[in-house]
Each structure stands twice: as structure tokens, then as C-alpha cells.
């Protein structure tokens, strides 16, 4: 079955808007785990807009030995204030998976993947260090990406397909072309020896169609829609709804 990894960034956004510790990100993670999710995802950024380094550490202690822990981020964003850098955080907490994403401070959210032809040599030493830490490495890529053999050659084991364009096309009632691009990308990645994850704007409305189209989909990372839907139905119920779709 495809693993559901719940992204908790939006819990941290709500907490940070008021200050203090509520809502409690660790309690949210515990609720998701008890509801059956197979992983927890966080995406700390240098500007500390949502998940902070202390959250990353607290979640590592809570999750160890229970579910997969996926930390996303830009490996080229250096230390700043309380933010020690993505590789340094991985060195501290040894997550199951590190998903490398080429996002910058000016982006509201991740909106594009790596260009493997251009970026692979810059990524090589960082991937090697993460592998030495025992972390599985996934690269965030756009539908239509090629050259997956280059990723395999430096030790990458998964890709995460950026599904924002698919989600928008689905909402517009014309998902066929965007979905076909994701399917083709997944097929080529799998043929190269990579497992396939997916994430960004996946929701209860569009997930079933996406899952059915991609055999062997390893993991979906879902946060924004899931937390939004949980405002109406509750977090535990919403997680179980997603798991039912994935079944």
C-alpha cells in the first residue's frame, strides 16, 4: 500500500500565528500515527515561517521506531540564526528520508523541482553525506523530468513528483494531460530503478484518480489540503479518509 506521510507544516503555521505551543505539533503527529499514517513530513525553512528546528528534534524523538520521518528542504540554504541548515538537521536527527527541494525564501510554497541535467553535480556530495547518515534520499522533480539515470548514479533512491499542476488541472476539470505527464515521469523513474513519491496539493478529491494511474506509487506527502479538511471533520477522521482512498 502507498504510504501516507502527513505534512505538519500548517499546524506550525497556526501555532506561530499566536505564539506559545498550541496547537501542539507533537500531539498532532501522535493523532496521525494513531489514525494509521505511515509517516510524518516536515519542511523547515531558514525563515522559520512554520516548522522550527526544535520541532524537528522533538518529532524525531516521538517518531523513532514508529513511523517514517521525512524532512524536506533546500540543501543549498546555509545556516541562519536558529536554522542550522538541512544537512546539519539530518545529521542531528537521522530521519528515514530526506527530500531535497530547490525552494527559495521568496516562494510561498515549493513550486518547481530540480533540473537533473544542471543540478546533479552540485547534489552529488550532499547526497553522499546523507547516505552516510543512513537517510534515504528523494529528489523533488517536475512532471516531464528526464535523466533519472544521473540521479541513480549519485545514490538517489526516490523522486517526489511535484503534483501542483495536476491538482490545478483536476480542479479545472481537465486533468488528463497533466496526469499523463505524471504517469510517464513515474514510469521512466521506475525503469531507471527509482521508487516514486508524490506531493503538493493532493487532496481527497484528486488523490484516488492519481493513485489509480500510477502503479507502485510508494508514498504521498499531504499537508495543506489534509489539515484544511481536518478543520471540518477532525484530524483523525481525515487521516483515515485518506488511508481508505489509498487502499
Residue 112 a catalytic site member: no
Listed in sequence order, the residues at least 6 apart from 108 whose beta carbon sits closer than 8 Å to its beta carbon are none
Residue 50 a catalytic site member: no
- Catalytic residue, chosen from 43, 50, 160, 219, is 43
Residue 79 main-chain phi, psi, to 5 deg: -60, 145
Contact 92, 130 (CB under 8 A): no
d(CA 135, CA 91): 9
d(CA 179, CA 211): 10
- Catalytic residue, chosen from 72, 160, 219, 229, is 72
Cα-based angle 241, 112, 78 (whole degrees, multiple of 5): 105
State the alpha helices, DSSP H only, in the chain: 9-18, 25-34, 53-63, 86-93, 116-132, 148-153, 164-171, 176-191, 207-213, 224-233, 235-246
d(CA 79, CA 90): 13
Residue 129 a catalytic site member: no
- Catalytic residue, chosen from 34, 132, 146, 200, is 200
Contact 50, 79 (CB under 8 A): no
**20 grid coordinates:** 506559545
Catalytic positions are 43, 72, 200
Amino acid at each position: 500500500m502507498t504510504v501516507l506521510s502527513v505534512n505538519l507544516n500548517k499546524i506550525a503555521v497556526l501555532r506561530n500565528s499566536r505564539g506559545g505551543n498550541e496547537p501542539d505539533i507533537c500531539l498532532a503527529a501522535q493523532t496521525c500515527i494513531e489514525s494509521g499514517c505511515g509517516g510524518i513530513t516536515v519542511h523547515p525553512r531558514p525563515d522559520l515561517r512554520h516548522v522550527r528546528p526544535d520541532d524537528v528534534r522533538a518529532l524525531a524523538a516521538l517518531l523513532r521506531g514508529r513511523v517514517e520521518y521525512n524532512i524536506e528542504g533546500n540543501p543549498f540554504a546555509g545556516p541562519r540564526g536558529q536554522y542550522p541548515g538541512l544537512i546539519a538537521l539530518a545529521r542531528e536527527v537521522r530521519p528515514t528520508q530526506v527530500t531535497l527541494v530547490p525552494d527559495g525564501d521568496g516562494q510561498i510554497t515549493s513550486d518547481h523541482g530540480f533540473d537533473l541535467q544542471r543540478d546533479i553535480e552540485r547534489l552529488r556530495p550532499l547526497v553522499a553525506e546523507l547516505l552516510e547518515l543512513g537517510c534515504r534520499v528523494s529528489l523533488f522533480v517536475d512532471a516531464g523530468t528526464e535523466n533519472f539515470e544521473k540521479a541513480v548514479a549519485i545514490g538517489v533512491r526516490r523522486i517526489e513528483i511535484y503534483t501542483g499542476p495536476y491538482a490545478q488541472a483536476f480542479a479545472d476539470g481537465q486533468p488528463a494531460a497533466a496526469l499523463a505527464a505524471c504517469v510517464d515521469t513515474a514510469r521512466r523513474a521506475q525503469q531507471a530503478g527509482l521508487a516514486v513519491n508524490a506531493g503538493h496539493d493532493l487532496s481527497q478529491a484528486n488523490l484516488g484518480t492519481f493513485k489509480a494511474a500510477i502503479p507502485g506509487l510508494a508514498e504521498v506527502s499531504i499537508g495543506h489540503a489534509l489539515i484544511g479538511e481536518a478543520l471540518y471533520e477532525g484530524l483523525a477522521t481525515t487521516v483515515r479518509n485518506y488511508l481508505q482512498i489509498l487502499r
